[in-house]
Amino acid sequence: MPAFPHRTSSTTAVAVPPALSLPVIEDAFTRRLHPYWPHLQEKTRSWLLEKRLMPADKVEEYADGLCYTDLMAGYYIGAPDEVLQAIADYSAWFFVWDDRHDRDIVHRRPIAWRRLRYQLHAALESPRGHLHHPDPLVAGFADSVVRLYSFLGKKWNARFARHFHAVIEAYDREFRNRTYRTVPTVDAYLELRRLTFAHWIWTDLLEQSARRELPDAVRKHPAYRRAALLSQEFAAWYNDLCSLPKEIAGDEVHNLGISLIHHEGLTLEEAIKEVRRRVEVCISEFLEAEKEALRFAGTLADGTRRGRELSVAVKAIVANMRNWFSTVYWFHHESGRYMVDSWDDRSTPPYVNNEAAGEK
């Protein structure tokens, strides 16, 4: 069944393959969409052009169909429009960065990757000093960070920087693993995946959508942290399930299914079933964790104005953790990013700009 009578990017209903269908998501996780979405899509498309992150022909042909703005508009419900726009542009940048990382690996450009890695670290610490960097990827990142740093306080900004420094280094570990054809063990992969999927970045941004920085005692409380982790684990593992054909075609080594095949001796069919099982367990565990998180949020209302506002913010954030399940699910079936069978070359996404990176 489609998530909406009309899709956000098309009026064609999406057929979910049986192997990827999750009835519990379709039935129990209602899909929502931020009312700002139509403007979000238009402005992010313009931002990609303005920052030269994708050439005009690629933006024209592929940007809307990639559904990057749909993903964010279904997650950060309640965010002020300008906050959602900044998050959506940052998310689009993240996907472009992921593609550059992949192309640097495929075309054996370790020096280019190392240079980019250091430049992103520097831009994270001094974004205003990198707004006019000659590499559009660095300049676009700096622009995103300047905007994201404007909404909450210095403490939140420092936490975001700390978390994203770790993401950059995790991408470097992926670069080395793929270069040397090293398939991580299941446990090592799951640990790395929490960083490359940027679990804590997307969770940090939930505070911006709620317009409130949470104190450490709330963020680190087991009830809050477990619900946050499970929502992100679902997204990462479901992504692995959906992208397995794409990543096998692209000679990848980072996928839960690939680790299960390589280290646990599973067949492809068995690995798909095991990843799906883990995804389903994750959903059921979240439903319990969600109750605990909401109970915890209720205890924060201690009769003071601060307590009441904090309780409301945490409840809104937990609701958006739930939204992550539905928006991730439908994104994987609407976005052209995963439609490998429609590509001329299953190992080369058609929306990737090879020429701009000096590739032939």
Q: Given CA atoms 14, 246, 196, 260 in this order, what sign does their dihedral have?
A: positive
Give the HSE-up count for residue 327: Cα atoms under 13 Å, Cβ half-sphere.
Answer: 23
Tokens of 104: 């640097």
In terms of DSSP H, where are the helices of the chain?
23-28, 37-50, 56-58, 64-66, 68-73, 81-106, 110-125, 136-148, 154-179, 186-196, 199-209, 216-219, 222-249, 256-264, 268-299, 305-334
Is 210 within 8 Å of 152 (Cβ atoms)?
A: no
Collapsing DSSP states into helix, strand and coil, what is residue 151?
A: coil
Residue by residue, DSSP assigns 242-281 as HHHHHHHHTT----HHHHHHHHH---HHHHHHHHHHHHHH
Residue 216: other Cβ atoms inside 10 A: 9
Collapsing DSSP states into helix, strand and coil, what is residue 354?
A: coil
């676009």: which residue's tokens? 140
Tokens of 58: 């690629």
Point out the residues that are catalytic.
94-95, 197, 337
Backbone phi and psi for residue 251, each to the nearest 5 degrees, phi listed first: 60, 40
Residue 358: other Cβ atoms inside 10 A: 10
Is 78 within 8 Å of 316 (Cβ atoms)?
A: yes
